[in-house]
Chains A and B, each alone.
Chain A
Amino acid sequence: EAQVTQNPRYLITVTGKKLTVTCSQNMNHEYMSWYRQDPGLGLRQIYYSMNVEVTDKGDVPEGYKVSRKEKRNFPLILESPSPNQTSLYFCASSLKRTGSYTFGSGTRLTVV
């Protein structure tokens, strides 16, 4: 089944403790992206990647890092999480420029 898999689904952590949210896709998509969803703000792009070793900042990149060492994986790294990073995170991938993304099921992150 074609899918984007992200883990964990739920995570509660403390301020400053480094964490990684993993994302993997099995569709051989070149484009991958991370979004966060907050009430009233919709989905805002954090980082995106056009291909292996090619990444760039989205609209809200502060406090986040990403890497794209393999085509299928695009982890999101929070080096020092803060409470304002409490949010619902989605990883997505796409074959082409049209933006019809396939999304993962989401990661609900709470930073206390």
Chain B
Amino acid sequence: DQQVKQNSPSLSVQEGRISILNCDYTNSMFDYFLWYKKYPAEGPTFLISISSIKDKNEDGRFTVFLNKSAKHLSLHIVPSQPGDSAVYFCAASGQMKTSYDKVIFGPGTSLSVIP
């Protein structure tokens, strides 16, 4: 049973438009959410995060929105650029079984930004 879901395996967007990547989670114990970006033949790189005490976090062209009641978060990229074409992983952490917080990843969404 996937605790972090990204229901769109792929997304295509025109350059300059907004890209919206969605993520849903099932575990209400998650309290920290992250987005990673992955290019082919490279490891994932951390992009942006948000704590459950916030509902929005912005970093340049990237904004993450969190809706705790809906257990939903989204990543907005504005404006989208061809270099943003990559696989985006949503991740969640905060399961307090031990002092270490496991990070649970979603299956990823492949974004293609068309010039």
A residues contacting B by CB (< 8 A) are 4, 31, 33, 35, 40-45, 48, 50, 56, 58, 90, 92, 97-106
What's the A-B contact tally at a CB cutoff of 8 Å? 67
Residues of A contacting B6 in the complex (Cβ-Cβ under 8 angstroms)? 42
Contact assessment for A43 and B44 in the assembled complex, using a CB-CB cutoff below 8 Å:
yes
Residues of B contacting A105 in the complex (Cβ-Cβ under 8 angstroms)? 41-43
Residues of A contacting B29 in the complex (Cβ-Cβ under 8 angstroms)? none
Q: Which 6 A-B pairs have the closest CB atoms?
A: A103-B43, A42-B107, A43-B105, A99-B103, A99-B93, A42-B105
**B15-47 at interface with A (beta carbon < 8 Å):** 32, 34, 36, 41-46
Q: Does B81 contact A (CB under 8 A)?
A: no
Contact assessment for B99 and A50 in the assembled complex, using a CB-CB cutoff below 8 Å:
yes
Shortest beta-carbon distance, A27 to chain B, in Å? 13
Contact assessment for A98 and B100 in the assembled complex, using a CB-CB cutoff below 8 Å:
no
Residues of A contacting B36 in the complex (Cβ-Cβ under 8 angstroms)? 103
| A42 partner, pick from B93, B101, B108, beta carbons under 8 A | B108
Shortest beta-carbon distance, A41 to chain B, in Å? 6
Shortest beta-carbon distance, A38 to chain B, in Å? 9
Instruction: Evaluate whether A58 and B107 lie within 8 angstroms (CB atoms) in the complex, with A4-B43, A100-B34 already known.
Output: no
Contact assessment for B32 and A103 in the assembled complex, using a CB-CB cutoff below 8 Å:
no
Shortest beta-carbon distance, B62 to chain A, in Å? 14
**B62-105 at interface with A (beta carbon < 8 Å):** 89, 91, 93, 98-105
Shortest beta-carbon distance, A103 to chain B, in Å? 3
Residues of A contacting B4 in the complex (Cβ-Cβ under 8 angstroms)? 42
A33–B27 CA distance with the chains assembled, in angstroms: 21
Residues of A contacting B101 in the complex (Cβ-Cβ under 8 angstroms)? 97-99
Contact assessment for A45 and B46 in the assembled complex, using a CB-CB cutoff below 8 Å:
no
Contact assessment for A45 and B103 in the assembled complex, using a CB-CB cutoff below 8 Å:
yes
Contact assessment for B107 and A100 in the assembled complex, using a CB-CB cutoff below 8 Å:
no
Known: A43-B91, A44-B105, A106-B41. 11 other contacts (CB 8 A): A31-B100, A43-B105, A45-B102, A45-B103, A90-B44, A92-B43, A100-B34, A105-B41, A105-B42, A105-B43, A106-B43
Contact assessment for B105 and A98 in the assembled complex, using a CB-CB cutoff below 8 Å:
no
